[in-house]
Every structure is written in structure tokens, then in C-alpha cells.
Structure 1
Amino acid sequence: MPTPIHNLPALRVLKLPLSDYSHVSKLQSILFNLHLLYKSSQSTPNPIPQPPPYLITSSFHPIYTFGRREAARTPPEPVLNLLSENKAAIAYTPRGGQVTFHGPGQVVAYPILDLKRHGLSPKCYVRVLEKAVIRVLRKWGIKGFTTKEAGVWVKNDRKVASIGVNLRRWVSSHGLALNVDTDLEWFKKIVACGLDGVEMWSMKKEWEDQLEHKSNEGGRIPGSLTELINRVDSKVFKRRITEEVVHEIADGIGCRLATPITVEEVEELGRKYELSGEDGIEWLKYWDSSGLYYRVKGDNMEMEGEERVPEEKRETDLDDVKNNNDTDPDEGAPLFFKSKRIYRGWDLP
């Protein structure tokens, strides 16, 4: 039985709107490296204060991300096909597991914390993330469960949430992605998480499935179910789901309080402790929200060309930012992930 952890600081939550993956990765890297700096500074004459646990929530412009299992491989033909066929970024990341998709309609939550401080083993931490999703689903009439594979499922061949974690010196980064009303067509171009025969699912699809099932049975269709389907694509609804995910994660890691933090505060921490945030991911190719293409190899980035984002796409992004005062969109370019010391005892999709 784990020993209860008392007097933990409040979870500091950075809520971002629909963002470029590079922007979120840079902020996450600053907070991740701040925890590592704290650990390494304890043996010096001037140790830095221990950081609180952090949590970043967001959703991303379309991007396929690859876990560290693929990081050392030459880009296979399917990856090159993704590059040529899709208006989506592609990136190699330090998280565990294999390829997945992130895009609008997802709720992504990245906790950055010292597992030892919270009395959590790596396996227990993964269960905390899974249980947080399951509890949120239960509130909305969806029964989620776990299998031997990491993530949350609604049927044996339907996966609604993915878990992918990076752990170094017991400090976590990356986390979970819950499909709320994600366009699932993106997943059909890959074998998500390396699981053949598994269909990526969403909360909206599950409600539609329930509605169809009740209709075929000739039973009474609850008005609440049709109302959910009609409301699911609104920003207000996604904010509510995000709030619930934050609450469940905070409870799972033992934090009684969750308080906000801003992008400016994170960037100030980066300046104060000289943490650039430029070591979060290794990009194969990057398409940012302004429509610029980049090719990246190691520390060298070259602009490959320019292809404008469709007018309607730009208008959607601007509306999203105007309706959320948390941050502005970022067009910074990511660089190479240099860390060599990665906990390799477990790999997660």
C-alpha cells in the first residue's frame, strides 16, 4: 500500500487553445527541464527551489507523432507517403510507443511532475491517467475500460484515448489524448499505436453508436443523448471536458488544488533558468499554422517551401484564438531532442 503523500503544492495548469505542436512542446520542455535542473542542482552550493507539478492542456493542428521506438529509424515508405499526401505535420518525439495522430477535437493533457514526490511508480502513474479518462467518460454515459495495452477503450477493438509518456529521472512529460469529436479519418492512414485491427474511436462516435443501437431496437431515444451529439463540437463543451480531465488528474496525483499559470510565466521561468525549450522533439517535417513548411535534420532547420493554408482554415484558427484569452498562436520552430538518458523499462502507445 503506497504511503499517503501530504502537503503537496497546487497543480499549476497551463490551458492552451488549439495550438501548433511546436509551441506546446517548447513550453513542456521548459517545465520538464526545470524539474531536472532542480534535481541536478541539489548537489551544488546554490540549489534552486523545487518546482510544483505542472499540467498543460491543449489540442493541436493536425500532426502525426512517432514515439522513441521509431526515432532511430530511417523514415519508412508509409511516413514519406504521409508527408506527401496530408496537410499535417510529422514529428519524432521522446515519448514511449509508436505512431499516433493529434488534431482538433482532442483533449490533450501533459502532466510534468516528479513521480517520486507523488509516491507513484511508472505503472501506477499510467493507471492514474487511464482512470482519469475513465471517470470523465462515466460522467457522460460512456463505459471505458483498460486492457493489457495502455490507453482507454470502449470496446475490445475501439480505443478512445491514448497514453504516451516520457520519463527521465522520474520526471514525466507527455501524457494522454482523449478523442472527443476528432476527425477519425486521419487515423485510417496509420496503424495507430502499432495495434492492428483496432479502430480509433471518439466520445461523439460512441454517442452516435448508442443512438443507432437504441433506434434499431425501437426503444425510446433519450433527448439527452441527441443533445450531447449536437453540443459536442462546441468550444464550451470541450472546455468542460478539459476541466474534468484536469480535476481527475489532480485528484489522482494527490493535489487538492489546481491553479492557473500563463504562457508568460512559463517563458519567464525559461529565461530565469536559461532553459530554451528547444530540445523537445526531432522533426522530420513541420507544417505550422501559417502554412510554412520546414525540413529538419539534427540542429539544422531549412524552410522547404511555402503553401498557404486554405482561407477557411485560417479563419477557424483566428476565431479559436479570439475566443480564448490564454495565449496567442506560436510559430516557433522545434529543434533536435538531445537527451540520452531515458527510462526504457516500459513503452506505451
Structure 2
Amino acid sequence: MAGGERQAAGGEAIVRQLGRVEYVPTWRAMQDFTARRTPDTPDELWVLEHPPVYTLGQAGKAEHLIAATDIPLVPIDRGGQITYHGPGQAVVYVLVDLRRRGYGIRELVVRMEQAVIDFLAARGASAARRAGAPGVYVDGAKIAALGLRVRHGCTYHGLALNVDMDLGPFAAINPCGYAGMPVTQCRDLGIDEPVAAAGRALAASLAKTIYS
């Protein structure tokens, strides 16, 4: 996606600070970037927020939207079930050529989860993975969702960290397909950090784990 503040991430990726952007145009821009990239195209990390939107993964089941809402539902091409994006959530899209990294998608998922765990640990919060449920959890409550698509060895989509947001819309879904799954956010853990600053720090943590 053209525009946005641009900076290098350890010489491996370009980080773009995009602010608050609509979901569908950003998704299409990720697809276009991935389709156009060559073996020499630098990786990019896109840091942003979205207006309120539910997204449903390619194998997702619409019945995981369990209550009527005015928030739009967008079927998309990542893995996973349904999740919610909204203001106060730091989203980082991970546009990475795995062929240059020397590891596969499962290892990338582990590294992305570790980036969130490290981000939270640096702020005094203990987080963990959960077997069979990609993402990051604090005391069983989900604080970060993760979903990717791989095309010709290159990834897009990424992860979303709940920073300081209205968690109410999660009550209308089974988050990531799990009925009754609690959700949490940085603010409720005593982490007082603006979403833009959290997004920048999360991108730095991702760059460290992805390119180590």
C-alpha cells in the first residue's frame, strides 16, 4: 500500500505506519502487493488500525456470528474463523517472502506469537500460546489473534493485538470459532500505551523474531 510513514526494520523489511484505514481496500492492497512482488522485493510490515469490522476466514463458519450487529462481516482469504477488528487494536500485516527465510508457515506463526509474548513480557505481563488455537493468551483470555495466507511462498494478513478498545463487539461472535472464549487487552493488564506506540513496538518485536 503506497504512503504512510516508512522505516527499515533491521535491514530486512520496510515498516509502514498507515494509521486508521478501511479493511477491504487494505486487504486488496495486500493481495496486489503479493501478486506483484519479485524475488528482490523487500518484505513489508504494515502497522495500522481498522474501523469496526468482522472478518471470516476462508474455512470460517458464519454461525460463529452469534448476535445481530450493524458491524459489517467480510469473508476473506486468510486461515481461521471469525474475528473482530476495531479502533484501539494494533494490527500488523506481515508481507514476508518465506522462501528467503528458510522456514515455513508453522515456524512463522510460532515466531509471530513469540513477538507478542515478548512485547507483553517487556511490559510486565505474562502471556502464552494455547495448543490448537493460534494466537496469544493471558490467563486463558485471548489478547492477540493471528491469521495468514501464503501465495507463491509469500505471506499476507498477520496479527491483531487488543490494546485499548471497546471489547463489546467480541460478545457477538465466537472468537476464532471458540464459543465463550474470553478476550482481554493491554489496558486491562495495566499497560498504558497508546495504540500507535504499541503498534510500532509490536512491529519492532516482529522484525526481531521473524528475521533472527
Range class of TM-score, shorter chain: 0.7 to 0.9
Deviation above 3 Å: which 4+ runs of structure 1? 75-79
Paired with 2:80 and 2:28, the residues of 1 have a C-alpha distance of: 21
Match of 2:148 in 1: 165
Match of 1:119 in 2: 102
Q: Does residue 1:59 correspond to 2:61, yes or no? A: no
Could you state the TM-score of these two structures normalised by the residue count of structure 1?
A: 0.55
Paired with 1:138 and 1:61, the residues of 2 have a C-alpha distance of: 28
Question: Alignment partner of 2:169: what SS?
Answer: helix
Q: Does residue 1:242 correspond to 2:193, yes or no? A: no
Paired residues of 1:28 and 1:56 also in contact (CA < 8 A): no
Match of 1:31 in 2: 33
Match of 2:210 in 1: 253
Paired residues of 1:9 and 1:52 also in contact (CA < 8 A): no
Q: What residue ranges of structure 2 are gaps of 5+ in the alignment?
A: 1-9
Paired letter, 1:164: G
Match of 1:295 in 2: none
Paired with 1:10 and 1:77, the residues of 2 have a C-alpha distance of: 38
Return the match for 1:14 from 1, 13, 16: 16
Match of 2:159 in 1: 176
Paired letter, 2:32: I
Match of 1:213 in 2: none
| RMSD of aligned residue pairs (Cα, Å) | 2.0
Query: More helix per residue: 1 or 2?
Result: 1
The alpha carbon displacement at 1:129 in A equals: 0.6
Number of residue pairs the alignment of both structures matches: 202
Could you state the TM-score of these two structures normalised by the residue count of structure 2?
A: 0.88
Paired letter, 2:18: L
Alignment of 1:74-113 (within 5 A): 76=63, 78=65, 82=68, 85-86=69-70, 88-113=71-96
Return the match for 1:133 from 109, 116, 126: 116
The alpha carbon displacement at 1:111 in A equals: 0.9
The alpha carbon displacement at 1:69 in A equals: 0.7
Paired letter, 1:135: D
1:220-240 CA-partner distances (Å, limit 9, x unpaired): xxxxxxxx54xx4xxxx2222
Query: More strand per residue: 1 or 2?
Result: 2
Alignment of 1:272-311 (within 5 A): none
